Structure 1
Amino acid sequence: MEKSNGLRVIMFPLPIQGCVNPMFQLAKILHSRGFSITVIHTRFNAPKTSNHSLFTFLEIPDGLSEKDKSTHDVTLLLTLLNRSCEAPFRECLTKLLQEKQRISCLIDDAGWIFTQPVAQSLNLPRLVTNTYKVSFFVGHFVLPPLRRDRYLLQQGSEQDEPAEEFPPLRKKDLLQILEGETEVLDSYSDMILQTTKASSGLIFVSSCEELDQDSLSQARKDFQLPIFAIGPSHSYFPGSSSSLFTPDQTCIQWLDKQEDNSVIYVSFGSVVNITESELLEVAWGLRNSEQPFLWVVRVGMVNGTKGVEAIPEELMERLEEKGKIVKWAPQQEVLKHRATGGFLTHNGWNSTVESVCEGVPMICVPSVWDQLLNARFVSDVWMVGLHLEGRIERDEIERVVRRLLLEPEGEVIRERMKLLKEKVGRSVKENGSANRSLQDLVDYISSF
């Protein structure tokens, strides 16, 4: 680590896996550049502080009931957190500012909407992190007007046509997004827009010019504030993770026994839920493909069950002949492994970027929200993966796994992915776009 510069940064992650990891990656980067780090966090999904001995941690109550904590409605969860955390957060931050140390700024996630007025009232600059692809963050603010204009009722039946309002989505993707929550989500999105515009800067922790050049130009016009695209941030500290789940390391030893590029890695992330029927279709599809697989079935992923218990014993025995099922995996290690030849993914942005950085082609099974856009970039724009188009059926899964791992089409996709990996990899190296943006961010924070 470089010598301390005497400046402290306060960080406040949203307690969701997809936001926690990038926030801690950013914290490690800033600490390596001389900043002291204090993390304010909720009791809900509290980080494992023992993994981060160089940081100071302060816990605040979040007011969530056990019922609240178990909800699958992410928008509801974030709304409740924003409602109940404001008072304890203000109290905690006020006490920190009264101590005799130089606090440079607050860095928190765009999903915290009460922190902007709190920071402003305390004369503390607030920088906002965002974990979406830039094009989704910039574009998703068009969704409330589209919904209000009765977009759903105005569309024809050609659902595979491009959605001109939100490229590269197709109409069926946009319809799927618009069919989600309405008033609560629209109001929340509007508050994110307003509080982000009022902030002192916007940090895209998992994007770079190479992945989002046009959208970054648009974002700078729309927001009129300093924007830093420093990602893929995990590349600065490879293998570093702040997982809220305990990864099963035995899967790495299992991968060691497999042939190069032979394994399909399957994970739907930390939030997505599937039905028992979909679980069985995936299981049969993987088994019938006759290819080795590593499959993450986290506890609570399957609606109404704990997870793998929904798979009949006879099928489980057949699955174990070819693959390995774990409750959570060290994803960066898995994607980096020589045996991993493809990633069947929900296309959360973190997972998508990690796959690009390791040169692993994808099979896209997006479920909600930004996943649908990320999948279109993978399959239609960069052409580094195949899209299941919502067909979670055993025959389709068997077919697409074999296409990717065994057929000439898969080799072509792998070559395209190799080129994209090299392009994005250059961004975090000296004089790369992300590296320059990171240095600009460090200089900016130091100027407060």
Structure 2
Amino acid sequence: MAQGHLIPAVDTALLLATHGAVCTIVATPATAARVRPTVESAKGSGLRVRLAEFPLDYAGAGMPEGVDNIDNVPGEFIARYFLAVARLRAPVERHLRAGAPYPTCVVSDFCHPWTSELAAGLGVPRLTFFSMCAFCLLCQHNVERFHAYDGVADDNEPVVVPGLARRFEVTRAQAPGFFRNPGWEKFADDVERARAEADGVVMNTFLEMEPEYVSGYADARGMKVWTVGPVALYHQSTATLAARGNAAAIGADECLQWLDGKEPGSVVYVSFGSIVHPEEKQIVELGLGLEASGQPFIWAVKSPDHHGEASLAFLRELEARTAGRGLIIRGWAPQALILSHRAAGAFVTHCGWNSTLEAAAAGLPVVAWPHFSDQFLNAKMAVEVLSIGVGVGVEEPVVYRADRKEIVVGRATVEAAVRSVMDGGEEGEARRRRARALAAQARAAMREGGSSHANLVDLVARFQPRDVVNGTTTTTPPRP
């Protein structure tokens, strides 16, 4: 799947292995290549974690060879990609049956409804994994459950999210429901059915950050929710932080050397994740806004080959003008390493939950700049619930639009947002205090005695084999 799903899923597997589980990570070749260094490092430290690689049937699915991860699948092949992944059920089941120990539980991303049949075939429980926060999931659930959009013709007309103690407004464009897009109706129904049939939920968040939304979602779904995050805190060393998720386009030592030369809390980190590729006009406006802010910055520009020569020329000119103050990384950046450095002061983010939670765990305020999907609700979480962020005013999806409407955040807005989040005044300092307090809670949740630590221990204990004879499980564990 996409990096925002893949990275926390692997981290969760490593955490479960830390507490005694034997974890098999199922991956396509491109995905396996990205996470293999992390998995091998964990195996080298004694964890019982393994990587099982399964190629897709590209020809059978009518797909180009080698496109097996969301960020390298052309848009016109996305539906075929999901069908191709679903066809892995039989080979994955054969692999798990042949290996030892016999699996006791399947934990699968909510985007893989086919794993319902996989778990049933194996005769074991299945848990749904969400790389999202409970606030987002509960809002999405409630607008569908209570038919909040009935009678609302305009996709950008705000409605109040029903069933919450606090008032939050969303639009259908911001929160349509998962896969509730034309042509995806059956897949969306399959996803919902699989979620309803799951034996529980594993979620990359922590209880202290959103207790009312965790309990609200558990009650709404009528199932157990294990909060196990922030799972990124599994990584404590520079090496694993730098290698997490993909090979970085900059060496860890070079990155650290640049950061070491900056004042504490002075650097703005900018990244929009692995899927979003801003258009040329947005590249220019963002760069000029960062330049005008006067702050040192690191800007991760993913996949330079997506940009035209004019964009690349602008980036070279910007580098020359901001030499020593600005660092532009062309490709994958060691994000967790950067955010955890003392020089980091704020994060300009697309508000993918992986990034939002990493900022919170690092104690950093954010500039919330959502682009699509759950990012709008994550932005509300950061700005309105946690009060650790400022927004740039984007209220409708920027990408995956059928009408190709151009939405550009101007340089003045970028500059103002960066200055606001880095402000040394009373409001800015209060925002940073809240972010630091949240980071302390996150670390406490992952330590022994903390809520996430306890949930990880409970997960392993609940689903471990009860009777093992000669390395073979003879009974399956109880359902939650």
TM-score by length of 1: 0.85
- Could you tell me how far apart the structure 1 residues matched to 2:345 and 2:156 are? 39
1:359-392 per-residue CA deviation (whole Å, 9 max, x = no partner) reads: 1111111111111111112112221111111262
Does 2:362 correspond to 1:344? no
Q: CA deviation at 1:191?
A: 1.9
1:134–1:207 CA contact under 8 A, matched in 2: yes
Q: Which moved more, 1:343-352 or 1:191-200?
A: 191-200
2:319–2:327 CA contact under 8 A, matched in 1: no
Question: What residue in structure 2 maps to residue 52 of structure 1?
Answer: 39
The letter for the 2-side match of 1:195 is: A
- Could you tell me how far apart the structure 2 residues matched to 1:143 and 1:162 are? 9
- Could you tell me how far apart the structure 2 residues matched to 1:259 and 1:57 are? 41
- Could you tell me how far apart the structure 1 residues matched to 2:417 and 2:456 are? 38
Q: CA deviation at 1:150?
A: 4.6
Q: CA deviation at 1:169?
A: 4.6
Q: CA deviation at 1:247?
A: 4.4
Question: What residue in structure 1 maps to residue 400 of structure 2?
Answer: none
Does 2:49 correspond to 1:28? no
Does 2:445 correspond to 1:427? yes
- Could you tell me how far apart the structure 1 residues matched to 2:301 and 2:195 are? 35
The letter for the 2-side match of 1:315 is: L
Question: What residue in structure 1 maps to residue 27 of structure 2?
Answer: 41
Question: What residue in structure 1 maps to residue 366 of structure 2?
Answer: 362
**Closer, same or farther in 2 for the Cα pair 1:182/1:82, shift >3 Å?**
closer
1:299–1:307 CA contact under 8 A, matched in 2: no
Question: What residue in structure 2 maps to residue 404 of structure 1?
Answer: 421
1:285-317 per-residue CA deviation (whole Å, 9 max, x = no partner) reads: 011111111110011585x53896152643342
2:109–2:128 CA contact under 8 A, matched in 1: yes
**Closer, same or farther in 2 for the Cα pair 1:295/1:434, shift >3 Å?**
same
Within a 5 Å distance, the mapping from 1:156-305 to structure 2 comes to 169-171=168-170, 173-178=171-176, 182-204=181-203, 206-239=204-237, 240=240, 242-248=244-250, 249=252, 250-299=254-303, 304-305=307-308
SS across alignment from 1:47: helix
SS across alignment from 1:244: coil
**Mind listing any 5+ residue stretches in structure 1 that lack a counterpart?**
1-14
- Could you tell me how far apart the structure 2 residues matched to 1:324 and 1:361 are? 20
The letter for the 1-side match of 2:28 is: T
2:269–2:348 CA contact under 8 A, matched in 1: yes
SS across alignment from 2:421: helix
- Could you tell me how far apart the structure 2 residues matched to 1:433 and 1:117 are? 31
Q: CA deviation at 1:26?
A: 1.4
The letter for the 1-side match of 2:94 is: T
**Closer, same or farther in 2 for the Cα pair 1:272/1:165, shift >3 Å?**
farther
**Closer, same or farther in 2 for the Cα pair 1:123/1:272, shift >3 Å?**
same
- Could you tell me how far apart the structure 2 residues matched to 1:324 and 1:168 are? 40
SS across alignment from 1:152: coil
Within a 5 Å distance, the mapping from 1:357-396 to structure 2 comes to 357-390=361-394, 392-396=409-413
- Could you tell me how far apart the structure 2 residues matched to 1:323 and 1:378 are? 26
Question: What residue in structure 1 maps to residue 474 of structure 2?
Answer: none
- Could you tell me how far apart the structure 1 residues matched to 2:14 and 2:155 are? 48
- Could you tell me how far apart the structure 1 residues matched to 2:259 and 2:101 are? 48
Q: CA deviation at 1:178?
A: 4.1
Question: What residue in structure 1 maps to residue 329 of structure 2?
Answer: 326
SS across alignment from 1:350: helix
**Closer, same or farther in 2 for the Cα pair 1:66/1:385, shift >3 Å?**
same
Question: What residue in structure 2 maps to residue 12 of structure 1?
Answer: none
2:293–2:418 CA contact under 8 A, matched in 1: yes
**Closer, same or farther in 2 for the Cα pair 1:155/1:311, shift >3 Å?**
closer
1:15-63 per-residue CA deviation (whole Å, 9 max, x = no partner) reads: 3211111111112112222222322211243334244232332221223
SS across alignment from 1:376: helix
Q: Which moved more, 1:240-249 or 1:366-375?
A: 240-249
2:160–2:168 CA contact under 8 A, matched in 1: yes
**Closer, same or farther in 2 for the Cα pair 1:339/1:402, shift >3 Å?**
same
The letter for the 2-side match of 1:353 is: L
**Closer, same or farther in 2 for the Cα pair 1:314/1:422, shift >3 Å?**
closer
SS across alignment from 2:258: helix
The letter for the 1-side match of 2:153 is: L
RMSD (Å) for aligned C-alpha atoms? 2.9
SS across alignment from 2:104: strand
**Closer, same or farther in 2 for the Cα pair 1:50/1:420, shift >3 Å?**
closer
**Closer, same or farther in 2 for the Cα pair 1:176/1:135, shift >3 Å?**
closer
Q: Which moved more, 1:133-142 or 1:306-315?
A: 306-315
**Closer, same or farther in 2 for the Cα pair 1:374/1:270, shift >3 Å?**
same
- Could you tell me how far apart the structure 2 residues matched to 1:405 and 1:62 are? 46
Q: CA deviation at 1:258?
A: 0.6
Aligned length: 426
Question: What residue in structure 1 maps to residue 112 of structure 2?
Answer: 112
Match of 1:436 among 454, 465, 469: 454
Does 2:64 correspond to 1:66? yes
TM-score by length of 2: 0.80
The letter for the 1-side match of 2:355 is: S
The letter for the 1-side match of 2:437 is: L
SS across alignment from 1:151: coil
The letter for the 2-side match of 1:398 is: E
SS across alignment from 1:341: strand
1:129–1:202 CA contact under 8 A, matched in 2: yes
1:169–1:372 CA contact under 8 A, matched in 2: no
